[in-house]
Chain A
């Protein structure tokens, strides 16, 4: 009875992965008529490690993932604490943050592209600016970060909220009777007890931030120049614009390795810090 699920998933994940591995050691460039399919050893990998475009895409991706996830987690923690309280209008708040999460990335990216547009947008209009946000490097990143956070903060907040809800309220009572201030019980009780939820949220978000593609494609197309080109975007370009499936395969393999490594590191860090 598990067979259909496993077979289907193998077909759409494991098989492509193996195919990538195979391609990465072969010449599979559809735009070159001759010499296709030949074994080329580690050529594709040497090309990748020597490529400054790849290296820059890697650094950009890591920086984006680090900055966006850190920012989003802090905001989400505040939001989760907010949602944890019982108050009038909690339902409204929950719906208000869930809709941005549920909406397609195409919607969030297009929405913020409109908002940041100098002629049709709200941001320049309300602040009286004349900035073409998506034409500059840092302003592009700022716009991308806002669009990304708008869509993803709710997800982290929901996970953290669930983490807050399993903490028994009695321990806060006890802490208060012992005279602990709010910030003390937050640091000493809430944060440590929230660690499992934080780990889950961090892994989910880090992995999806490392694979960021839709927002980039829609908002900047990797531009201006190559300044917002991330690994996933470079990978897509190599596959579908350059139709180089050998080199693209190598980039894909490294992408998978990187994701596994980072997930492993996050798991380990969270576990060891939870033990001490």
Chain B
């Protein structure tokens, strides 16, 4: 996609209106600045307030949740307790799903980085016939409707006796991660100067050795970005987990949350929100420490 195709039409000059305004911009600029920061504040509040509400609710006791919002349980509750967190781990067994999710997300990330680096390198550098078609397929695969895949994959897993098992998810989650990671790494490898690699090849290294010793070290930032995105995507899945997993001991964390805190008599929002806080933490940390990489990865995945 190129930006050249769009040519803006000629601008109508309104010189008579434009000039004098620039001489006394003071008050207007101040008003505009205030409005701007007001808008920024609204956006930040809208983005972050639900998180505050979630933390607030997670720190309420069971009885406080039962009483409902208001009175002592308003915006700033009078009594806070960590009991919902305790209950999630002791009674609700939330640790197992958490570990399951971590295993699956890490494994998917590692496989994604490895496979996508190989493919990305090959697509960027090797004279492959139909490289364009292959790349197109990899990209289009990222748009396949996930829910359409659920049925057939369910049958396949059933026939293989792999239903209600977290390990097949590692492969299934590649639907989410491989397309974007491959594309990202292909673009990354294309930016690395060819001379670097040729020097190694002249020195008698094979392609694989050149990849490992020369290119990979240079490509580490790109692989890091791809890894972060892959982890987020795998950690976030719900559709496949809810379709293939049956027993609570085999749940991933997002699936466990949906089945948590429901009782016949009331919904324990404090327990649900405590679990939500817990699974948000890794993602929030990733965003805090790698925001530039994430932004770069998202945009590189869609441009050039």
Chain A contact residues, CB within 8 Å of chain B = 1-2, 4-6, 8-9, 11-17, 19-20, 23, 78-79, 82, 85, 87, 89, 91-100, 102-107, 110-112, 114-115, 117, 119-122, 124-125, 150, 154-155, 158-159, 161-162, 166-167, 171, 175-176, 178-181, 184-185, 188-189, 192-193, 195-197, 199-201, 204, 207, 210-211, 213-214, 217-218, 232, 235-236, 238-240, 245, 248-249, 252-253, 255-256, 259, 263, 271, 274-275
Give the docked Cα–Cα distance between A111 and B258 (Å): 12
B43 within 8 Å of A by Cβ? yes
Give the Cβ gap from A24 to chain B, nearest Cβ, in Å: 10
Residue from the set A98, A105, A117 with the largest chain B CB neighbour count within 10 Å? A98
> Given A2-B118, A102-B232, A159-B298, A9 and B141 touching (CB < 8 A)?
yes
- Residue pair A150, B46 in contact (C-beta under 8 Å): yes
B219 within 8 Å of A by Cβ? no
> Given A9-B137, A16-B149, A19-B152, A93 and B6 touching (CB < 8 A)?
no
> Given A1-B118, A2-B118, A9-B174, A263 and B144 touching (CB < 8 A)?
no
Q: Is the interface of B mostly helix, strand, loop or mixed?
A: helix
> Given A6-B119, A181-B14, A181-B17, A106 and B257 touching (CB < 8 A)?
yes
Give the Cβ gap from B273 to chain A, nearest Cβ, in Å: 6
Instruction: Tell which of A87, A114, A236 touches B269, judged by Cβ atoms closer than 8 Å.
Output: A114
Query: Closest A-chain residue to B6, C-beta based?
Result: A192
The interface residues of chain A lying within 8 Å CB-to-CB of B145 are 210-211, 232, 252, 255-256, 259
The interface residues of chain B lying within 8 Å CB-to-CB of A111 are 50-51, 53-54, 273, 276
- Residue pair A125, B70 in contact (C-beta under 8 Å): yes
Give the docked Cα–Cα distance between A78 and B39 (Å): 10
- Residue pair A211, B69 in contact (C-beta under 8 Å): no
Residue from the set A103, A252, A253, A274 with the largest chain B CB neighbour count within 10 Å? A103
The interface residues of chain A lying within 8 Å CB-to-CB of B147 are 211, 213, 232, 235-236, 252, 255
The interface residues of chain A lying within 8 Å CB-to-CB of B222 are none
Give the docked Cα–Cα distance between A115 and B49 (Å): 10
> Given A8-B174, A107-B279, A275-B5, A248 and B151 touching (CB < 8 A)?
yes
- Residue pair B151, A180 in contact (C-beta under 8 Å): no
Q: Mark B139-173, 1 if CB is under 8 A from A, else 0.
A: 00101111111111111100000000000000110
Q: Mark B12-54, 1 if CB is under 8 A from A, else 0.
A: 1111111100000000000000001001100110111111011
The interface residues of chain A lying within 8 Å CB-to-CB of B179 are 9
Give the docked Cα–Cα distance between A263 and B136 (Å): 14
Give the docked Cα–Cα distance between A79 and B47 (Å): 12
